[in-house]
Chain A
Amino acid sequence: MANNKNIVIQEILEKYIYPVLPHNLVAMISTVSFEKLADLTEIRLRINQPLLLVLGNSDITISPMGKIATNYNESYLCNQEDIHKTLQFISKNSLYAFEHELKMGYLTIDGGHRIGLAGQAILDAGVVKSLKNITCLNIRIAREVKGCANLIMPYIVTKEGRVLNTLIISPPRCGKTTILRDLIRQISMGSKMCKGLQVGVVDERSEIAACKNGISTVDLGIRTDVLDSCPKAIGILMLIRSMSPAVVATDELGRSEDIYAVREALNAGVSVLTTVHGKDINELLDRPYVGDLLQNKYFHRYVVLDDTPCVGTIKKIIDSENNEVLWDAGTK
């Protein structure tokens, strides 16, 4: 199992991450063994701050000689050139092609790995037009974990083979996209519980399907249509009209128009699988837009994720009808 994880991280780093990092950083990171990097979830670059490798719930820094630094004073400090070169590699000298993403504060590279950006916002009439002087980058390693949604499947598929409307609730970095991806794959492929269903995916951030030239680079099953880089609100309605899916899946609800589109899909009789940032249901109930969906019980199932003891831990599965806890990690 550990060996498997090493191979996965090696492949991810060599295929997707190293090509977007400057050579000096690649040289430093590659000196760390893959056993150590097996749980790598993030690589953080901040100007004048140590290069940080986040491993699950802990992090390490690296010295300029490529050794794991025990003291921050020995760590390699990232500079302007590192950030500039990384952005140049990511955008392939085409920042104009990522205008929309820059406004949102992230870019997605091949393999569905999201790169968060922070710097100075350029405002136009109170709206963020773009980012300049980018000083911090967060490279988030996405993993395709087939079978990670096995536990959830029996709770969200009815005896008749219908998929129940499901909301995955999770704080950032707890694996909601990975679980959503596996749910999509299993529903699309079909299983003992249900036959394969037509699934429509609206992948606003290109994270779920990790599309390259519009073609998914991860396994989402044989009955999945992907609308890549399309705003959720528009995409959901487009898919319903054009592809007649049985299930629509999308990531990270938040804006009022997203909620409107999800409501439209639910009213149209299409099952919805989606995710939202949050710790638990009570926290979400008071939140604008998403709270309305919960109060009106638009979803049948809530899946709450956590990062203890490890990323992607399914904490609870709840039936919205009577708030009955169908699965509780604490009692199992």
Chain B
Amino acid sequence: MLKLIGSILVLVASSYIGFQMASRCQGRPRHLRQIISCLGSLRSHIIYACLPLHEAVAQCTKGTNGPVAIFFQDVAAMLEKNGALTPQEIIKKVLNEMQGILMLKKPEIEVLNVLGGNLGTMNCIEQEKYLLMVIEQLERFENEATRLRDLNTKMYRYLGICGGLAIVIILV
């Protein structure tokens, strides 16, 4: 009886790990897509509405929720409160605080850090060019993340279940 319960527990635990890893694989392209959509909206708020940066960042998350919306909202709040910090410093700080919540890899984080360095310091035309360049880069990462998701999601799930079964068989 104990063996049966133990086996079930091992199987459940390994399957959970597998599904968690699969979920992380799905999270990255989703977060990248949301960031791209927010940056597109930010571009409109800067170019057409000429809103101050903190307002534009706060407005760009409309229709988005989850960690990406929290990230932009936190950046907007800090931009409004901490006039002494540059957008780059603020983005870096918020990204550090949200490590593990935002499912982003090093290249995407670097792109977002560089984005902060040029936000608000140039005229509208240059801001637009720069935002489009960042969006383009993130889209490339998103394509890569989608490819990896399709490749790995099923694999991680199967690996979790099969790994659990293998452990159970060996132990029993």
- Contact surface of A with B, Cβ cutoff 8 Å: 19, 22-23, 85, 88-89, 91-97, 99, 130
User: Could you give 25 example pairs across A and B, Cβ below 8 Å?
Assistant: A19-B83, A22-B84, A23-B84, A88-B83, A88-B86, A89-B83, A89-B84, A91-B52, A91-B120, A92-B52, A92-B54, A93-B53, A93-B54, A93-B121, A94-B51, A94-B52, A94-B120, A95-B120, A95-B122, A96-B122, A96-B126, A96-B127, A97-B52, A97-B53, A130-B123
Q: Which residue of A lies closest to B90 (CB)?
A: A93
Q: Tell me if B84 and A92 are in contact (CB < 8 A).
A: no
Interface flags, B96-135, vs A, CB<8A=1, else 0: 0000000000000000000000011111101100000000
Q: Which residue of B lies closest to A100 (CB)?
A: B50
Q: Which of B56, B121, B127 has the most CB of A within 10 A?
A: B121
Task: Give chain A's interface secondary structure class.
Answer: helix
Q: Tell me if B120 and A96 are in contact (CB < 8 A).
A: yes
User: Cβ of B79 < 8 Å from any Cβ of A?
Assistant: yes
Give the distance in Å from the alpha carbon of A89 to the alpha carbon of B52 in the complex.
12
Q: How large is the interface on B (under 10, 10 to 19, 20 to 34, 35 or more residues)?
A: 20 to 34
Indicate which residue in B50, B120, B123, B124 contacts A93 across the interface (CB closer than 8 Å): B120
Residues of chain A lying within 8 A (CB to CB) of residue B122: 95-96
| Known interface pairs A85-B84, A92-B83; A97-B54 also in contact (CB < 8 Å) | no
Residues of chain B lying within 8 A (CB to CB) of residue A89: 83-84
Give the distance in Å from the alpha carbon of A97 to the alpha carbon of B50 in the complex.
5
- Interface contact tally, CB-CB below 8 A: 53
User: Cβ of B87 < 8 Å from any Cβ of A?
Assistant: yes
Interface flags, B58-97, vs A, CB<8A=1, else 0: 0000000000000000000001100110110000000000
Closest CB in chain A relative to B78 CB, distance in Å: 11
Q: Tell me if B124 and A99 are in contact (CB < 8 A).
A: yes
Give the distance in Å from the alpha carbon of A88 to the alpha carbon of B79 in the complex.
11
Closest CB in chain B relative to A213 CB, distance in Å: 10
Give the distance in Å from the alpha carbon of A89 to the alpha carbon of B51 in the complex.
15
- In addition to A94-B53, A96-B120, 6 A-B residue pairs with Cβ atoms within 8 Å of each other are A88-B86, A89-B84, A95-B123, A96-B126, A97-B52, A99-B50
Give the distance in Å from the alpha carbon of A97 to the alpha carbon of B121 in the complex.
10
User: Cβ of B35 < 8 Å from any Cβ of A?
Assistant: no
Q: Tell me if B84 and A99 are in contact (CB < 8 A).
A: no
Give the distance in Å from the alpha carbon of A195 to the alpha carbon of B127 in the complex.
50
Q: Which of B53, B56, B122 has the most CB of A within 10 A?
A: B53
User: Cβ of B46 < 8 Å from any Cβ of A?
Assistant: yes
Closest CB in chain B relative to A130 CB, distance in Å: 6
Indicate which residue in B79, B87, B123 contacts A96 across the interface (CB closer than 8 Å): B123
Closest CB in chain B relative to A82 CB, distance in Å: 13
Closest CB in chain B relative to A99 CB, distance in Å: 5
Give the distance in Å from the alpha carbon of A130 to the alpha carbon of B50 in the complex.
16
Give the distance in Å from the alpha carbon of A95 to the alpha carbon of B120 in the complex.
6
Q: Tell me if A96 and B124 are in contact (CB < 8 A).
A: yes
Give the distance in Å from the alpha carbon of A89 to the alpha carbon of B120 in the complex.
12
Q: Tell me if B46 and A92 are in contact (CB < 8 A).
A: no
Q: Which of B50, B87, B127 has the most CB of A within 10 A?
A: B50
Indicate which residue in A22, A92, A95 contacts B79 across the interface (CB closer than 8 Å): A92
Interface flags, B26-54, vs A, CB<8A=1, else 0: 00000000000000000000100011111
Q: Which residue of B lies closest to A99 (CB)?
A: B123
Interface flags, B124-155, vs A, CB<8A=1, else 0: 10110000000000000000000000000000
Residues of chain A lying within 8 A (CB to CB) of residue B51: 94, 97
Q: Tell me if A93 and B84 are in contact (CB < 8 A).
A: no
Q: Tell me if B50 and A96 are in contact (CB < 8 A).
A: yes
Q: Tell me if A95 and B83 are in contact (CB < 8 A).
A: no
Residues of chain B lying within 8 A (CB to CB) of residue A95: 120-123
Q: Tell me if B46 and A93 are in contact (CB < 8 A).
A: no
Nearest first, the 3 closest Cβ-Cβ pairs linking A and B are: A93-B120, A94-B52, A94-B53
